[in-house]
């Protein structure tokens, strides 16, 4: 039997770091990443035959769990008729209609292949529509790896303690203004100084790439009011939160309608698919109608669209989000209670089917507060739970995800495993009170 460690050594010979996305490499937590062979429901199995309860869900897309039979059937049926045409298909229209019906901000939508592509295109469109260059983003938020966004970004960049990237020209970075997340006063001051130069704000309405950070309602309200007053656009990056925190996404949950939104993850059902969209008069600036160019050979490809449509059909079922949120709360409350019983500084919270775990006394509300959490304690927790068959994100700077396939018994087994860990002497000697 080939082991995970052997495969990782082999992968590093021809793949940088042995992985095709940085956080998969386990650099933050240490050890060899798991190579997975099969998934079903809330569980997946690695190449050594070990099974894990999955709280990553392919980083969010698998809201129905692994290998949902109707999603797999839709993919197989569509693939049998052709993988890609580079031409319009009927299902693209159906998906666009569904997205525009469910998301409050969407009149029109353009399908793309990744969240990075969606964010990059939405920003270009905002600049083209307003005729301005300056972009506002927030410390710790991640919007993909295009040049203008790799300025104090979150996600895997935080894992390595490097909040920017080499290879980004200074001239590009100077068009991005970085402010503290959840700080409405700092945002107001920025608009007072440079409001006439700002094309757009881009923000994760629930930050999920510096762990989960809940938004201050006043912060989101300020972003909406200031952009409207100064003629800038508000872009909600809902690649992660879209159809994950609520059926009408974070924009519906918080009652804030952005000018443009980006979506990904859930809308592809595990296949590479994303979208950006918004008000009709803005979207009509995109080629071929307008002067803002965007294109993609595989955009709206039949297989990904089929997976997305099949997934979206299920999430509209009555009670779907109530159960998803209930399971996430059960996990967060159970883990917190277990830690507190043993005097461990730990807390957790969820918004819909997203959750955050923090080795801290209180849930953080900003990048600076996230960086004060005990990452060494998280790393020990991660490996202990991994060994007991519970797979969390291999980084203290990532949100977690519940799927509809997680049962009450699944959550209870995870809480029980965590309690055993919190109670063991090896943890108590590292306790930070």
Peptide bond preceding 347 in cis form (omega within 30 of 0): no
Catalytic residue among 142, 321, 358, 421: 142
Largest pairwise CA distance in the chain: 66
Opening angle at CA 26, ends 25 and 30, nearest 5: 135
Catalytic residue among 237, 259, 374, 410: 237
Helix, strand, coil shares of the chain, percent, nearest 5, are 40, 15, 40
How many helices (H) and strands (E) the chain has is answered by 16, 14
**Helix ranges restricted to H, 54-105:** 69-79, 90-102
Strand pairing category for 51-54 and 390-391: parallel
In the three-class reduction of DSSP (H, G, I as helix; E, B as strand; rest coil), residue 147 is classed as helix
In the chain the first and final C-alpha atoms are separated, in Å, by 43
Active site includes 265?
yes
Q: Are 44 and 66 in contact (CB under 8 A)?
A: yes
Catalytic residue among 259, 265, 321, 374: 265
Six token digits for residue 262: 């980006």
Strand boundaries in 255-326, DSSP class E: 260-263, 274-278
Q: Which residues contact 107 (CB under 8 A, 6 or more apart)?
A: 100, 277, 278, 279, 280, 283
Bridge partners for 164 per DSSP = 151
Q: Are 47 and 7 in contact (CB under 8 A)?
A: yes
Residues catalogued as catalytic: 142, 237, 265
């Amino acid at each position: 039997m080939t082991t995970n460690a052997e495969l990782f050594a082999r992968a590093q010979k021809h793949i940088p770091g042995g992985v095709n996305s940085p956080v998969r490499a386990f650099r933050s937590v240490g050890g060899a990443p798991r190579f997975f062979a099969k998934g079903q429901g809330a569980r997946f199995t690695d190449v050594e035959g070990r099974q894990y309860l999955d709280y990553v869900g392919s980083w969010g897309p698998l809201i129905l769990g692994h290998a949902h039979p109707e999603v797999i059937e839709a993919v197989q049926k569509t693939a049998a008729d052709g993988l890609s045409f580079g031409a319009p298909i009927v299902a693209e229209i159906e998906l666009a209609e569904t997205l525009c019906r469910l998301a409050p901000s969407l009149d029109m939508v353009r399908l793309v292949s990744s969240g990075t592509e969606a964010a990059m295109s939405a920003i270009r469109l905002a600049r083209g529509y307003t005729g301005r260059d300056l972009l506002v983003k927030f410390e710790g938020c991640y919007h993909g790896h295009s040049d203008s966004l790799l300025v104090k970004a979150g996600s895997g960049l935080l894992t390595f303690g490097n909040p920017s990237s080499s290879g980004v020209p200074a001239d590009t970075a100077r068009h991005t203004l970085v402010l503290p997340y959840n700080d409405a006063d700092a945002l107001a001051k920025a608009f007072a100084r440079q409001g006439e130069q700002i094309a757009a704000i881009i923000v994760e309405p629930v930050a999920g790439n510096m762990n989960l950070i809940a938004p201050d309602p006043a912060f989101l309200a300020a972003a909406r009011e200031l952009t409207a007053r100064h003629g800038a656009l508000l872009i909600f990056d809902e690649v992660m939160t879209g159809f994950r925190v609520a059926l009408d996404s974070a924009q519906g949950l918080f009652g804030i309608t952005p000018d443009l939104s980006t979506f990904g993850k859930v809308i592809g059902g595990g296949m590479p698919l994303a979208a950006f969209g918004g008000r009709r008069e803005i979207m009509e600036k995109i080629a071929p109608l307008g002067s803002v160019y965007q294109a993609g050979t595989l955009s709206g490809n039949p297989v990904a669209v089929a997976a997305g449509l099949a997934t979206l059909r299920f999430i509209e079922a009555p009670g779907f989000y109530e159960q998803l949120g209930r399971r996430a709360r059960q996990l967060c409350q159970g883990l917190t209670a277990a830690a507190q019983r043993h005097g461990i500084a730990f807390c957790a919270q969820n918004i819909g089917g997203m959750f955050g775990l923090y080795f801290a006394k209180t849930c953080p509300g900003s990048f600076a507060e996230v960086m004060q959490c005990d990452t060494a304690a998280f790393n020990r927790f991660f490996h202990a739970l991994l060994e007991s068959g519970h797979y969390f994100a291999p980084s203290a700077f990532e949100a977690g995800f519940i799927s509809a396939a997680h049962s009450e018994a699944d959550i209870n087994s995870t809480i029980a495993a965590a309690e055993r860990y919190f109670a063991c002497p090896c943890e108590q000697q590292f306790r930070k009170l």
